[in-house]
Chain A
Amino acid sequence: MLTILPQLAIVIADLAAAFLFLFGLKRMSSPVTAPSGIAYAGIGMIVAVAASFLYALSVETEAEPYLLVNAALAVAALAVGGGLAWRSGKKAGLTAMPQMVALLNGAGGGAAAAIAAIVLLGGITDTAVLVVTLAGALIGSISFSGSLIAWGKLDRLIKHPLRFKGQQIVNGLAFLATLAVGGYIGFITLSSNVPMLAMPLLIAIFFGLSLLFGILMTLPIGGADMPVVISVYNAFTGLAVGLEGYSLQNPALMIAGMVVGAAGLMLTLLMAKAMNRSVSKILFTNFGATKAHKQSKIEGELKPAAAGDAGIFMRYAKEVIIVPGYGLAAAQGQQKLYELVKLLQAADVTVKFAIHPVAGRMPGQMDVLLAEAGVPYDLIFQLEDINPEFETAAVALVIGANDVVNPAARTDKSSPIWGMPILDADKAKQVYVIKRGEGKGYAGIVNALFYKDNCNMVYGDAADVLTQMIEAVRGLGKAAA
């Protein structure tokens, strides 16, 4: 009787948390209500975590002698894990958000896998619980090790995608081996046969293989596909958490995990659609390998332009559409960009931003970058809304973007990006492309846009080029006065 009251309190707290999560996510559908949305979700989290300590009142008899130590460990782990994440979350630059999200994803997946390990070590008798726990363990582990690799790639610790011959076969075998060990664990548990190896060892092997598979699966994926990968692992972690929620008979985990799993899946599909490629192709084929690829002949030549001249040209244009890409993020040029935009606006130039769904290294990264610089979000337009406007725009300014404005996607059937929806920057009367050098984009394709008659290249670091443009436009203002 003494144990039912705390359990009831936990159930109510979890229910409240589940509601607050859903309500909070719902409020995230508009920039105006979004800040309060995350606050509601935060309250839900605090309620659930606080209530979870009531489990201490109803632990199993065998665990009672350990309770004090366990509770102290829990508090310490909360403080250390939370504290470290709080610090790095505050410190991380906005351009480092993709890495940060990848890392946090991995942490969640790792936590789900660790819970699965404890449940498995404790022994399971129910078939459904066993299958679900093993599935959660597998998915959580893949998300953990895969996210760490993704983080390494985004943080440039791992510079190139690792690919070798027969990679898909090796990965496939690793996956089958993982399933086989998992199946064997299930078979032994349910048939209560004596295993060939000690159970804890088998479980360790299972986790080792799952983690290995996560690494193998992520290593060959190229940098341009990182938005999709992060999104997939977000969904994976959510799914793993939901499954472990079932193992622990905790509906809050089940609901929150599944909501995130579905949300992650939807985002993944949106990303894949924006690249006109299927999710399985991104994950399981080696895209972006710089194979000797036959390309349609490109005519024309690269025409460099001075930053100052380009700036002055824009000052006297009627409408300028800016296409930001990863190069802007890498150069940390967003503040300078908005400074230039404000100068242009002061000179009665209409300025709009065009964002490609997969610009940057995670979905929506450019939006966040511009928001950081203080760009109002009603100046920012998505692909389908802005594309018809390029034809009437005087200038398209492409900053550190490449593949998302490559007209080959429309014209060249042999191109790897054929069919991908792109921003029609080439249709503007004049195109300026700010670029570090003459290199190719992440997809390794030459961009026909750069060779078109109406396109000029402005070489240099985005932040430096923008500074020169600002100076040129300012100089004009002084001369006029």
Chain B
Amino acid sequence: MDISIAGLAALYIFLLAGFAGWVIIGHVPAILHTPLMSGSNFVHGIVVVGGIYALLNATSLTEQAIGTLAVALGAANAMGGYVVTARMLAMFQTTAPAKPARKHKKKG
């Protein structure tokens, strides 16, 4: 037995997810646009999960090759997106004296 999404429900998911993305991003200040971009870049790295599914169900050499490629690319997308975003976000500081000065990250 498979758990599947009926056709219409898929449309609703797309609609609501798209709307959620629009609203959430609308509130991000311009100063964070680069981290936001690499952050959303990281989020579409979820494609790696689809790659794993496809690869596990592969039955021929061609499918295995393409599946491996999909997983490798997806993993690179997710991992790279995370590292880059986290690195950038760690740098944002404020002059507000309330918070102790954060340790300065060593330059890469």
Which A residues fall within an 8 A CB radius of B? 3-4, 7-8, 11, 14, 17, 21-22, 24-26, 28-32, 34-35, 37-39, 41-42, 45, 48-49, 52-53, 55-56, 59-60, 62-63, 66-67, 69-71, 73-74, 76-86, 88-94, 97, 100-101, 103-105, 107-108, 110-112, 114-115, 117-119, 121-122, 128, 200, 230-231, 234, 237-238, 241-242, 244-246, 248-267, 270, 355, 357, 362-365, 367-368, 371-372, 374, 376-380, 382
Contact = CB atoms under 8 A, between A and B. Distances in A.
A368 to B, nearest CB: 5
A111 B93 contact: no
Interface in B56-108: 56-59, 62-64, 66-96, 104, 107-108
Given A104-B76, A111-B73, A374-B104, A97 B88 contact: yes
Contact of B43 (A30, A103, A259): A259
B91 to A, nearest CB: 4
Contacts of B87: 89-90
A139 to B, nearest CB: 12
B39 A371 contact: no
B34 A365 contact: yes
B97 to A, nearest CB: 11
A84 B79 CA distance: 9
A117 B66 contact: yes
A258 B21 contact: yes
A249 B4 contact: yes
A74 B46 contact: no
Interface of B: 1-5, 7, 10, 13-14, 17-22, 24-59, 62-64, 66-96, 104, 107-108
A108 B74 contact: yes
Q: Is the interface of A mostly helix, strand, loop or mixed?
A: helix
B50 to A, nearest CB: 5
A89 B85 CA distance: 9
Contacts of B55: 70, 73-74, 77
Given A31-B31, A52-B49, A119-B54, A242 B17 contact: yes
A56 B56 CA distance: 6
25 contacts: A17-B46, A25-B40, A28-B28, A34-B92, A42-B82, A48-B46, A69-B64, A78-B72, A81-B74, A86-B83, A90-B108, A94-B88, A100-B84, A101-B34, A104-B76, A108-B44, A108-B47, A108-B74, A114-B73, A234-B44, A259-B40, A262-B21, A266-B25, A270-B30, A377-B93
A68 to B, nearest CB: 11
Given A22-B20, A254-B13, A364 B36 contact: yes
A104 B80 contact: yes
Contact of B77 (A77, A111, A362): A111
A382 B30 contact: yes
A37 B49 CA distance: 21
A387 to B, nearest CB: 14
A30 B31 CA distance: 9
B52 A74 contact: yes
A66 B95 contact: no
Contact of B75 (A78, A264, A365, A368): A78
Q: Which 3 A-B pairs have the closest CB atoms?
A: A364-B33, A89-B83, A262-B21
A38 B83 CA distance: 10
B21 to A, nearest CB: 3
With most chain A CB atoms within 10 A of its CB, the pick from B67, B81, B86 is: B81
Contact of B39 (A17, A41, A77, A368): A41
A111 B80 CA distance: 14
A353 B19 CA distance: 33
Contact of B89 (A14, A34, A78): A34
